[in-house]
Amino acid sequence: MDDIYAPHIAEIKKALGDGVSEEVIIADLEKLVKYRVPVAEAKRSIIKKYGGTDSVKKTLSEITTDDRDVEITVKVLEVTKRCVEIKGVSRTILTGILADSTAQLPFTAWSELDLTKGEVVNLRGAYVRSWQNQIQINLGNRCDITKLDKAVGIEAEITPTKLADVKEHANNLHILSVILEADEQTVHTKEGDKTIISGILADDTAKLPFTSWVQNPNLTADATVYIENAYAKVFRGVPTINISEQTTISPSEKIITPVAKATQQSVCDLLKREGAIDVIIKGNILCVRPGSGLIMRCPECKRVIQQNICRIHGPVAPVLDMRVKSVIDDGTGSLTLILDARLTEELLGYSIDEAKKMTSEAMSSEVVEENIREQFVGKMVAVNGSMSNGEYGAILLAESAWFPVSDLKEEAIALLKERGA
């Protein structure tokens, strides 16, 4: 058979042991594939035919998203009980992290299985899915759990997640970071007013905002802390670390060099992340998109409207605004760049009122947009702001922007260094 079937043949042999020869396995697999039986189903059929168990024993590093029934021996590094709503029904599930000597993977148990942090277990009948582009072990009602003797040791500890690698909806996060800012705020919730702590965390890769729904004396500015069992949610397009009652925060004596100031980054690196704050990029404006220039907004929800009608609030008295929607490219990639009215006025050199006068004199609502194209397209622009990377693509909302003054000598030296000269 083709080499592409070799891994599948190896899995079948592993499940059946020495009782069935490789030649017989290949013959059976060829026959089933010939009749267009899916490979995964063919493997299960052959294993069942010769009395083997459907679960194929694997290490965590061997697991792929094609696995539907695997057996693993792992250590439970973290386990947390959560209440979720599925199709309108409240259900208690478990989330956490499993590890063996080869890898660590997140897991979800869709019922309250008997799993305890620190124990070593054999799990038979687990299945695998991809969640947020990461392999995740899933444990259903058919999963068989065998607790192993403590002598069966698996040396594994949770590897802290770098802030630049935090994904939307990530659970059981362990983070080593410096608290750059921490302030108390009062927010309105369904249960009434609640005092929270919000601020900025930083490690040597990135900065991210955090929100703590509980009071904790270790959450103070300039402290280095180890946060265990936090989770991430996206707020305003940026992953935010959330700290709950199930989160443990302890002081750390480890020395890390946090990203305290805004640093220039490549678009290529930013596109690998789901969001970022306080980043600087420098690139050329490729184009100015429609919707730039003077726009009308709903006074209630601030959405852009047409013909004085908001799709949420109906007919309204619009508020005049101005912006630039463009595409910026730094040579490694491109993303959408948005400048608000303040920055648009600064870079264009005229105000919203002056832009309104321009449209009246030209008797055209597009004159400002055309002027923006003339002044921006092809120009080098540097911006500092926050980047979101969601269903509408990567968007950088600028907080400051400027036309950098080129230093030809420095650029030439940098180019020579890049080429090894």
Q: Phi/psi at 235 (nearest 5 deg)?
A: -130, 120
User: In sequence order, what are the beta bridge partners of 239?
Assistant: 234
Judge whether 60-147 and 163-251 match in fold. yes
The per-residue pLDDT for 227 is 96
Q: Which positions ≥6 away from 248 have C-beta within 8 Å? A: 227, 228, 229
* pLDDT single digits (tens) 76-126: 999 998 888 878 888 889 999 999 989 999 999 988 888 999 899 999 889
In terms of average pLDDT, the best of 61-65, 191-195, 304-308, 346-350 is 346-350
**CATH (residue range 263-408):** 2.40.50.140
User: In sequence order, what are the beta bridge partners of 234?
Assistant: 239
| The residue to which tokens 């709503």 are assigned | 85
State pTM to two decimals: 0.71
Q: 189 near 173, Cβ under 8 Å?
A: no
In terms of Cα–Cα distance, which of 108, 105, 172, 118 is closest to 147? 118
The class of domain 163-251 in CATH terms is: mainly beta
By residue count, the chain amounts to: 421
The residues spanned by each domain of the chain are 3-54, 60-147, 163-251, 263-408
The per-residue pLDDT for 34 is 86
* pLDDT single digits (tens) 363-389: 888 999 999 999 999 999 999 999 999
**Residue 49: pLDDT band by 50, 70, 90 thresholds?**
confident
The per-residue pLDDT for 168 is 84
- pLDDT, the chain, mean: 89
**Residue 52: pLDDT band by 50, 70, 90 thresholds?**
low
**CATH (residue range 60-147):** 2.40.50.140
Two structure tokens written together for 311 = 């799709």
Q: Which positions ≥6 away from 397 have C-beta within 8 Å? A: 237, 338, 340, 385, 386, 387, 388
Q: How far apart are CA 246 and CA 213, in angstroms?
A: 10
